Amino acid sequence: GDSVTQMEGPVTLSEEAFLTINCTYTATGYPSLFWYVQYPGEGLQLLLKATKADDKGSNKGFEATYRKETTSFHLEKGSVQVSDSAVYFCALSDPNNDYKLSFGAGTTVTVRA
Amino acid sequence: DTGVSQNPRHKITKRGQNVTFRCDPISEHNRLYWYRQTLGQGPEFLTYFQNEAQLEKSRLLSDRFSAERPKGSFSTLEIQRTEQGDSAMYLCASTKQENYGYTFGSGTRLTVV
């Protein structure tokens, strides 16, 4: 079946530090990959996505590249801000599973001023 | 585009009571999904609809749970005879294209006391 494994948190950083959250996946089909962000008390917001190998998704300074050879989709940001404090979820959508989203457990990121 | 709307935002109920949640998807989105999220975990798939047809129910969903989407518009999720283990955030999402990425609502947080 499909599964997503992401780096355990919590992660605490200082403002302007570099952020990396590792994500690897297994899927029976050729999935699309996503990063979602969840702020306290809110639902999930799509941060970025990639639908095929070597695609790079980017948004708000965050980037992630779809690496089929390593089955990975690591999230990176070069200089974080306090407002980036949130829970980040890696997810996949597998055509062999009728495109239902499968999520990782989430990584809590706290950025300190 | 007013986004995905969920009501209520919070619900506290006594064990054994029935509760019903509502989700209003984005109007042109024909797929609607329900997920459940417990503290510190990623969302877990519960069920989904293509228009008014319920296509799949997760094995996580006991017989106490039922979902409907009359006329392919809004959806309701009912939990009968609630148990403390039902306490969670219930998330609704909709999408127009299966691998495009879902739009999530803010969720309904259920607390069973």
Task: Kindly report which listed range (A54-68, B16-30, B98-112) carries the lowest average pLDDT score.
Answer: B98-112
Q: What is the chain A residue with the closest CA to B108? A: A43
Q: Cβ atoms within 10 A of the Cβ of B106, count?
A: 18
Mean pLDDT over the full length of chain A: 94
Identity of residue B26: I
CA distance A93 to chain B (A): 6
CA distance B16 to chain A (A): 26
DSSP for residue B80: S
Question: Is any Cβ of chain B less than 8 angstroms from the Cβ of A8?
Answer: no
* pLDDT(A99) > 90: no
Q: What kind and span of H or E run contains B18? A: none
d(CA A69, CA B2): 39
Residue-wise pLDDT for B63-94, tens only, equals 999 999 998 899 999 999 999 999 999 999 99
Report the percentage of chain A scoring pLDDT > 90. Answer: 81
Q: Which residues, including other chains, have CB under 8 Å from residue B21's CB and lie 6 or more apart?
A: B6, B7, B8, B11, B76, B77, B78, B90, B92, B108, B110
What tokens were used for B20?
């019903």
Please tell me which of the candidates A43, A46, A93 has its beta carbon nearest to residue B105: A43
Predicted pLDDT of residue B100: 67
Nearest Cα neighbor of A34 from A61, A58, A70 is A58
Q: How confident is the model at residue A68 (pLDDT cuts 50, 70, 90)?
A: very high
Report the percentage of chain B scoring pLDDT > 70. Answer: 96
Record: contact A42-B43, CB cut-off 8 A: no
Predicted pLDDT of residue A12: 97
- Give strand ranges (E) for A8-69: 11-14, 19-21, 23-26, 32-38, 44-50, 56-59, 62-65
Mean pLDDT over the full length of chain B: 92
**Which residue out of A35, A45, A101, A102 would a mutagenesis test of the B interface target, given it has the greatest number of B Cβ atoms within 10 Å?**
A101
Q: Which residues, including other chains, have CB under 8 Å from residue A81's CB and lie 6 or more apart?
A: A15, A16, A111
Please tell me which of the candidates B41, B99, B107 has its beta carbon nearest to residue A105: B41
Record: contact A89-B43, CB cut-off 8 A: yes
List of chain A residues whose C-beta atoms are within 8 Å of the C-beta of residue B107: 42-43
Q: What is the chain B residue with the closest CA to A42? A: B106
d(CA A11, CA A9): 5
Record: contact B101-A45, CB cut-off 8 A: no
